[in-house]
Amino acid sequence: MPISSNPTIHLLNSATLVGFSGGLRLYIAFLLAGLAPSFPLVVAASLIIYATYTLDRSLDNTEDEVNHGELAGACKAAGLAASAVAIAGGGMLFFAKSLFFPPVFPFIVGILYSKGIPLGKWRIKLKGGCGMKNTVIGITWGGTIALVIAASGAVVPAVAIGLYFGLKLFINSTIFDLKDIRGDLAAGIRTLPVVLGEGRLKLFLFSLFVIQHLILLAAMAMGIIAWYGLVFLYSLVSAGLVIAWYSPAFEESPSWLKRRFRNILIDGESSVVVAISTVLSG
């Protein structure tokens, strides 16, 4: 079997781009907060994000069986082992900087989402409502970024930055749900695209998109965060194009650009911003 078609390789590599781009979001957050980026923490964030998504795909998941058929037959033990190694590596890098809560925060939220935590006669559980998964993704990664920035002493900027990235990740994850609408319908999963339909969903996401960028612009204008016009403009263009133009039909288009449109503008956004920022500052 060619390596490119090996389900285990697909499993181990499926979250690589997500982890890499997620780490670069933390790099951008440092810039917005007016702080020198910490490369060990950027790497640590990438490892924790990679571990979280690889762990999720290594566990039994009806939704993934439908939407990610390329993972069928993958060695789940390999995914669990890779997740454990990434967690250990990311955790050590965080702990070396005396940051103990940020690396465990995603897993606490994950437990609250999937299993819940008993509290007396009640059980606090986040899973269940339409759009709750997207909300949890926004809280998890927007919150993790905010915790790291706040630990550097920039508490007020951390709130604005956390809100900005939290809304961005809510929107991005919902676009990914739009990609998976066929599988979710087949599995009986009530995601926002399934409930709202493509037209109403885009209006809803555009509303959040406007709020997200108003928060960023206001925070920059008020001096709460550093003025980075590049971050604002590229985010405005890339997110706006995805919401306005993307369709699930792109995934099966004969056009390479359409098939990669979502990945280039969503996963590639932070890479492009960091690359241009590095060139301009150098």
At residue 135, the 3 state secondary structure works out as: helix
In eight-state DSSP terms, residue 251 is: G
Burial class (CB in 10 A: 0-12, 13-18, 19+), 87: buried
Q: What is the pLDDT of residue 134?
A: 92
Distance CA 104, CA 74 (A): 27
Q: Are 16 and 50 in contact (CB under 8 A)?
A: yes
Distance CA 37, CA 55 (A): 27
Query: CA nearest 143: which of 48, 219, 214?
Result: 48
Q: What is the pLDDT of residue 59?
A: 77
Distance CA 58, CA 45 (A): 20
- The single-letter code of the amino acid at 82 is A
Q: What are 107-112's contacts with CB under 8 Å, separation 24+?
A: 107/52, 109/136, 109/139, 109/140, 109/143, 110/52, 110/56, 110/136, 110/140, 112/136
- The single-letter code of the amino acid at 186 is A
Q: What is the pLDDT of residue 23?
A: 96
Name beta bridge partners: 117: 124
pLDDT in tens, the chain (282 residues): 444 458 888 888 989 999 999 999 999 999 999 999 999 999 999 999 999 999 888 875 555 555 555 666 778 899 999 999 999 999 999 999 999 999 999 988 887 776 666 656 665 555 666 788 899 999 999 999 999 999 999 999 999 999 999 999 999 999 988 888 877 777 777 889 989 988 999 999 999 999 999 999 999 999 999 999 999 999 999 999 999 999 888 988 999 989 899 889 998 999 999 999 888 776
Token digits of residue 154: 């920039």
Number of domains in the chain: 1
Token digits of residue 245: 């133009």
Q: Are 99 and 26 in contact (CB under 8 A)?
A: no
- The single-letter code of the amino acid at 192 is L
Q: What is the pLDDT of residue 65?
A: 52
Range of the domain at 259: 3-281
Q: Supply φ then ψ for residue 44, to 5 degrees.
A: -60, -45
Q: Are 161 and 149 in contact (CB under 8 A)?
A: yes
Distance CA 182, CA 185 (A): 5
Give the predicted TM-score (pTM) of the model.
0.89
pLDDT in tens, 61-108: 555 555 555 666 778 899 999 999 999 999 999 999 999 999 999 988
Query: CA nearest 251: which of 154, 164, 181?
Result: 181
Q: Are 266 and 244 in contact (CB under 8 A)?
A: no
Query: CA nearest 229: which of 277, 275, 165?
Result: 277
Q: What is the pLDDT of residue 109?
A: 87
Q: Are 10 and 67 in contact (CB under 8 A)?
A: no
Query: CA nearest 242: which of 188, 196, 175?
Result: 175
